[in-house]
Amino acid sequence: MCGIAGYYRLPVAPEESRPLLQRMIGTLAHRGPDGNGTYIDGDVGLAHSRLSIIDVEGGRQPLCNEDGSVWITFNGEIFNYVELREELIARGHVFKTRSDTEVIVHLYEERGPDCVELLNGDFAFAIWDRNRQRLMLARDRAGVRPIYYAERDGALAFASEVKALLEVPGVEAEVDPIALDQMFTFWFPLAPRTPFKDISELPPAHVLIASTHGVTTRRYWDFTYPDAAQDRPVSAAEEARLTEEVRTLLLDAVRIRLRADVPIGAYLSGGLDSSITTAAIREFVPEQLHSFSVAFETAEYDESVFQEEMVAALGLRHSVTVCRDEDIAGILPELIQHTERPIMRTAPAPMMLLSRLVRENGTKVVMTGEGADEVFAGYDVFKEAKVRRFCAAQPGSRLRPLLLRKLYPYMPRMQGQSQRYLEAFFGGQASLDDPLYSHLPRFRTSSAAKGFFSADLRASIGDYDAVADLRDRLPADFTRWHPLSQSQYLESAYLLPGYILSSQGDRVGMANAVEGRFPFLDHRLIELAARIPPRLKLKGLTEKHILRRSIEDLLPEGIAKRTKQPYRAPESRAFLRSRVGAAVLDHMSPANVEAAGYFDSTLVQKLVTKCDKLSSTGFRDNLAFVGILSTQVWHETFVNGLTGKRGMAVARQMMNDWRSGTSAATPGSP
């Protein structure tokens, strides 16, 4: 995993080209602390900061083919590179390294931009084709690895993170009001839009081509599902066959993700998905595996008892970081420096502390369970939509709405609400025919935070409708899919890359130069799971039924049958009841809120007072609180010019102000 940057046809003086590339890649040193390099060819420049994982000695970049006509700067891993390399050698290609990077170069020689279709991996790369005078950018199918670009008058700059683009003359940090509206609706901006005006994100599964003919993008892959009309009962024999296919392919996805020249660890939350990946690794790694977990001092969020059960069952070497409320408050400025966008939940903060623990233990790569909930229907939103549809089929029933109490058992405030409230909240006004039916309650709850927007921001947004915009982006055959498949698409194609793999994945891992690998996002497994009948994924109200069956012999029974408990972290209370909260909360002071101009300062102060007085704050208020606070921090960090090394220094100093000098990490062993 690395950082990449570069430009195409920028109006830069020759003597400024290399200093510019060095400044750009210098902002990404945290992604690749093991070395850096640059390449310049006229008005084209490529730069690379390296985290060495495969071919540690020989895989330096930018890298080229035999005659120097094709150059690449690459971020990510190609997990099927061994097989591709053998095929390319058999066809006469000559390799000078053992790296997976060089496989892409030779594959591009044969297939051009279509080379991405043969890659099984997590990647973002740029290829400069000297003969065709063409720059190509590409991003992996699920959107694991990021790539951003700024384009004007045929000139283009690109990078793994926005902060590198802000080193380019003429690229400024200015808020995009529409993106802010989207984030306060969906928790993320709809790609290619970013929080930064005139800075774009290459969407997942897309290729960009820049040439003298202009800049174009195209999609090369998408999540897709069978028509609902094909859904039918499944025989026991067919279920058994599909179960075995899932197991075989999942284990193979884990096997090829163990390819590395450095040790690989595992994240272990105590939930089903991370337990599966950890147990699967033990099928291939005979030596003791190092696993890593977050524990919380607050029992409501802590899953350490389940983590310890897996550690004992698999004989793991285990390390834990204990997350306190003040840890979340203290790390927020540094977190926003890396996410480069406001966040609506605090969940990324403990993940950043976890990646720090991994790095402190000398590990660069961890296997994780992300993607299982999207691919095999594990989220509560899927069960919620099923119950809502069930109730809507008989609106006069008194018994059916009682099922609503089976939802969100881990949320005491929700369980304490009256039956009438639950029916009104989950029923809403959504039409069963609305393609966004499953997610409209979430969008409605999140959008309530937009009530804090200032008059000026509202005027900038105008009559834009984020939900209508999302409807217009859905695939043409979306309405023919089963309702569960529709819900899965919304999670997989939007929330997964927009939030889970970004703010809670790549950015918090690479902040500490730690690469995450995701077996459940192997595109072969995604495509297999999409073909599996919905009733085998969500069976009754049992999530991930077929996945549980496929690996039940690898896990302790209590873990294999455990109900989904989403990963959460303390939110407003972390800033209102910790000794470092006051310094961070200053970003929400009336003066700072008015200076930024995004929110109504009077309403914001009422929210802070409300959250401070309540012993337990509800989901809606917490979401608004974190969204507003993180937007204020984002504004100070980027729009007010604290980007780059100075911004990192400021953020780290704030961390040092509250850290006692000893790490919160407490390694242990079974």
pLDDT digit string (tens) for 544-581? 999 999 999 999 999 998 888 888 999 999 999 777 88
Residue 368 belongs to a domain: yes
SS3 27: coil
Mean pLDDT of the residues in the chain: 91
CB neighbour list of residue 472: distance below 8 Å, 6 or more residues apart = none
Residue recorded with tokens 């069976």: 539
Range name among 118-127, 224-233, 359-368 with the lowest pLDDT average: 224-233
CB neighbour list of residue 90: distance below 8 Å, 6 or more residues apart = none
pLDDT tens-digit map of 344-383: 999 999 999 999 999 999 999 999 999 999 999 999 999 9
> Which residues in 334-457 belong to E strands, given as ranges?
365-367
User: Do residue 40 and residue 127 come from a single domain?
Assistant: yes
CATH of the domain at 28: 3.60.20.10
Residue 591: predicted pLDDT: 97
Q: What backbone torsions phi and psi does residue 4 show, to the nearest 5 degrees?
A: -125, 155
User: Do residue 186 and residue 148 come from a single domain?
Assistant: yes
Residue 385 has pLDDT above 70, yes or no: yes
Residue 665 has pLDDT above 50, yes or no: no
User: Do residue 35 and residue 162 come from a single domain?
Assistant: yes
pLDDT tens-digit map of 486-532: 999 999 999 999 999 999 999 999 999 999 999 999 999 999 999 99
Q: Write the CA distances from 606 to 446, 450, 609, 616, integer angstroms.
A: 18, 15, 5, 16
The number of domains in the chain is 4
CATH of the domain at 364: 3.40.50.620
Range name among 394-398, 445-449, 538-542 with the lowest pLDDT average: 394-398
Pairing type for strands 264-267 and 365-367 reads parallel
Residue 469 belongs to a domain: no
User: Do residue 158 and residue 58 come from a single domain?
Assistant: yes
Residue 253 has pLDDT above 60, yes or no: yes
Q: Write the CA distances from 9 to 42, 44, 217, 489, integer angstroms.
A: 8, 6, 18, 37
User: Using 50, 70 and 90 to split pLDDT, how confident is the model at 418?
Assistant: low
* DSSP letters spanning 244-275: HHHHHHHHHHHHHTT--SS-EEEE--SSHHHH
Residue recorded with tokens 């993320």: 188
Q: Where are the alpha helices (DSSP H) in 112-161?
A: none
Reading the block at residue 146, the tokens are 């990021």
Provide the sign of the torsion angle of the four alpha carbons 245, 284, 567, 298, taken in this order.
positive
User: Do residue 241 and residue 346 come from a single domain?
Assistant: yes
pLDDT tens-digit map of 49-70: 999 998 888 889 999 999 999 9
Residue 463 belongs to a domain: no
ω into 395 cis (within 30 of 0): no
Residue 410 has pLDDT above 70, yes or no: no
Residue 577: predicted pLDDT: 78
User: Do residue 324 and residue 406 come from a single domain?
Assistant: no
Residue 467 belongs to a domain: no
Range name among 104-108, 387-391, 415-419 with the lowest pLDDT average: 415-419
* 493/583: higher pLDDT: 493
For the chain, the 3-state helix, strand and coil shares in percent, each to the nearest 5, are: 50, 15, 35
Average pLDDT score over residue span 318-344? 96
Residue 406: predicted pLDDT: 67
User: Do residue 110 and residue 141 come from a single domain?
Assistant: yes
Pairing type for strands 515-517 and 2-8 reads unpaired
**Boundary-marking domain end, from 170, 195, 219:** 219
Range name among 8-17, 424-433, 544-553, 577-586 with the lowest pLDDT average: 424-433
DSSP code at position 112: G
Residue 425 has pLDDT above 80, yes or no: no
User: Do residue 58 and residue 204 come from a single domain?
Assistant: yes
Q: Write the CA distances from 144 to 1, 396, 499, 554, 666, integer angstroms.
A: 11, 45, 11, 27, 29
* DSSP letters spanning 149-171: EEEETTEEEEESSHHHHTTSTT-
Q: Write the CA distances from 388 to 280, 414, 523, 530, 619, integer angstroms.
A: 36, 16, 31, 23, 20
User: Do residue 433 and residue 529 come from a single domain?
Assistant: no
pLDDT tens-digit map of 128-186: 999 999 999 999 999 999 999 999 988 999 999 999 999 999 999 999 999 999 999 99
Taking Cα atoms as reference points, which of 566, 204, 515, 176 lies closest to residue 342?
Answer: 176
**Boundary-marking domain end, from 432, 461, 492:** 492
Q: What is the rounded radius of gyration, in angstroms, for the C-alpha atoms of the chain?
A: 24
* 15/657: higher pLDDT: 15
Q: pTM for this structure?
A: 0.92
Residue 456 belongs to a domain: no
Residue 459 belongs to a domain: no
As a whole-number percent, the residues of the chain with pLDDT over 90 amount to 80
Residue 114: predicted pLDDT: 98
Residue 65 belongs to a domain: yes
pLDDT tens-digit map of 607-643: 999 999 987 788 999 999 999 999 999 999 999 975 5
Angle at 562 between CA 557 and CA 565, to 5 degrees: 155
**How many residues appear in the chain?**
670
**Boundary-marking domain end, from 560, 586, 603:** 560
As a whole-number percent, the residues of the chain with pLDDT over 70 amount to 91
Segments forming the whole domain that contains residue 432:
381-450+475-492
SS3 5: strand
Residue 405: predicted pLDDT: 67
User: Do residue 209 and residue 153 come from a single domain?
Assistant: yes
User: Do residue 19 and residue 143 come from a single domain?
Assistant: yes
Taking Cα atoms as reference points, which of 122, 75, 76 lies closest to residue 519?
Answer: 122
User: Do residue 416 and residue 519 come from a single domain?
Assistant: no
Q: What backbone torsions phi and psi does residue 84 show, to the nearest 5 degrees?
A: -65, -40
